[in-house]
Structure 1
């Protein structure tokens, strides 16, 4: 359906299964892949624009890990085999391109961003005990070869809109401190800067963050420093417009979401709302919406004033409700409590 006006694009597509429903994944801008592997293993490939089923039949793909387990990364379905590598998925629910490696994509569960979905992914390569990374395209498996100095090795890598940042190590001398370098989507250096520090494990990373011994800083994709702060680095971050929000350890569910204006460096209020992974749905730049709970405890949706910290409105659903809420592009789509109706949401008057 068209989420802007609710218009149905094509009639419902019947996916005949027994007991459990299939799991479905986007596979690029044109197709939807559905896999049912509870009893008789069956896959469907559906045209995302017309609803035409272009393939229905057997598949080696599975919805669970270990061997050819299907996962959604960005808008692409990929298949992972542990200690073997990553496969692309083709028009007949078959495997296409292949990138050898550990078989685990570093950004396997990318959280909700307000930016375009990732076009690149990374995985460990080089065998057991290796820290080396390979960067590749999610659309065709093309391996990105970054511009590196002689004896340099690409290690921990963070993908963000417009490129990636990577820790660079010296293959011959492990005593040399790692440094972080910046690359575009093609692997070309966006800056000749090499910054000493580490790339911390941070959820919802829209801009590169580098951690040093006593401080941490936010950078542009070409290595320009936007913000430098002392103390403990954040565990989650979020970029909304020109404001940078972050939560520190122990503060994801408490009053520790801090904000800074990246244009001026000015600090805003510290708020007790939640912009974290698993809760945050979206924003218009002024108001943010988050969704909490599950059918066992009930669902709760809240809207927050980002600058003033106030809760603007709250919507609750009872225990056992089928209610759910998704952000699709810039539209909030709600499933009714009885699972019979989809509706778009706007702020209450």
Structure 2
């Protein structure tokens, strides 16, 4: 074992290393080709437009909400019901994001109730699963539809015992979407105290991974700039040995990826990120360390501080840990187990986000004000009001675009290097409450009645 000193952001951190294991692609930050594909310094202008009639929806039906996308296609679900709520109907359709072409006529889903009683999800590339909860008092059954998004055809429909995400129902089980709603997801059924199942082409439960049946929520409803992870983590069964409290598995086929802990170590906490996963471990009489693995479950590297404890922090872009020193530090690491930057913090539990090669840290006790740090140089930037917790839309790597939140429909573009507002789009301009979303590398603006592509000004 070799002990070396690593200097990052002006702070010396001692750590121990051992010979690295398997190879892993250790991307620093968000890959640029996953960000918005054009400069956002100038306000973008409308490109194609689609209203409900253009899409083929019935009168008075809104254009709906995004639930999945690929590199060049976006998929939406919308609903309508009578005043008594006795005849709910949903419609699913797709749009080519670069041209605005409707990919197939809206698919009618009779009996679909809409959020929060019903939702549609992507279930791997080219497949959607829509589930709606029943209503015994109104005689509405629980239903599921499986849709081939390539052909626009329903391949299966029928009654189901599946519950929408967040609703465990009487069986203490629910769907969980691993990934991001605005990109690709894969579905599992998490059954408390039993384990996790895959979901097949007839909305049936397929492969099975035993365990505690609670999986880490990967931030399905938050905007993310990285590819969907293919790994999930569930808690162990009650009778599992204490040295291995978490189980890692593939959400593609259920392969158990949980490694055997090194002899004499105890696993304490786990985290999943782009490129792999890591375990926090402790050896008798020593401080916590981290063991890094790639997406195949192969050992990659080990990281250990000799003087302070490390607490792993969930971050889907890059692995992170809180170093409990004086002052405390956020450690941003690569998937290869190398320290990238050490960033001082005055409090635990604050929010953070990685965009491109910049790290943004929400300042404790402030109104959505964020400190910027450069992952390549460690240099800090100004503290700006950005709204990155839940209102983040996207970025070209330099300009950050955010929605206005629940109290405002204004879309705002900010230069985090100066805190200056580059441009805005207001509700008054559109005439309706609006939101902006990054889909693939495109920007799509939506109101109740219209979808609009935003493209660079010529």
Cα distance in 2 for residues equivalent to 1:237 and 1:254:
11
Aligned position for 2:28 = none
Cα distance in 1 for residues equivalent to 2:415 and 2:265:
46
Cα distance in 2 for residues equivalent to 1:271 and 1:29:
38
The DSSP-based 3-state class of the residue aligned with 1:281 is strand
Aligned position for 1:71 = 176
Q: Which runs of 5+ in 2 are unaligned?
A: 1-94, 135-139, 180-184
Aligned position for 1:45 = 146
Aligned position for 1:35 = 131
The answer to whether 1:341 aligns with 2:456 is no
The 1:299/1:347 distance shift into structure 2, 3 A limit, reads: farther
TM-score (normalised: structure 2): 0.68
The answer to whether 1:148 aligns with 2:276 is no
Cα distance in 1 for residues equivalent to 2:296 and 2:112:
45
Cα distance in 2 for residues equivalent to 1:69 and 1:53:
22
Alignment of 1:243-262 (within 5 A): 243-251=358-366, 253-255=367-369, 257-262=370-375
The DSSP-based 3-state class of the residue aligned with 1:10 is strand
Superposed CA RMSD in Å reads: 2.6
Aligned position for 2:310 = 198
The DSSP-based 3-state class of the residue aligned with 2:253 is coil
TM-score (normalised: structure 1): 0.87
Cα distance in 2 for residues equivalent to 1:188 and 1:209:
19
Cα distance in 1 for residues equivalent to 2:125 and 2:259:
27
Structure exhibiting the larger radius of gyration computed from Cα positions: 2
Q: Which one scores higher on RCO, CA 8 angstroms, separation ≥ 6? A: 2
Deviation at 1:238, TM superposition (A): 2.1
Deviation at 1:76, TM superposition (A): 0.7
Judge conservation of contact 2:214–2:234 (CA < 8 Å) in 1. yes
Judge conservation of contact 1:101–1:126 (CA < 8 Å) in 2. yes
Deviation at 1:45, TM superposition (A): 0.2
The 1:347/1:236 distance shift into structure 2, 3 A limit, reads: farther
Aligned position for 1:314 = 424
May I ask how many residue pairs the two structures share in their alignment? Answer: 338
Cα distance in 1 for residues equivalent to 2:112 and 2:96:
29
The answer to whether 1:60 aligns with 2:161 is yes
Deviation at 1:27, TM superposition (A): 0.4
Alignment of 1:232-243 (within 5 A): 232=346, 233=348, 235-243=350-358
Aligned position for 1:280 = 392
Q: Which runs of 5+ in 1 are unaligned?
A: none
Alignment of 1:64-103 (within 5 A): 64-66=167-169, 67-74=172-179, 75-103=185-213
Question: Which segment is superposed worse, 160-169 or 61-70?
Answer: 61-70
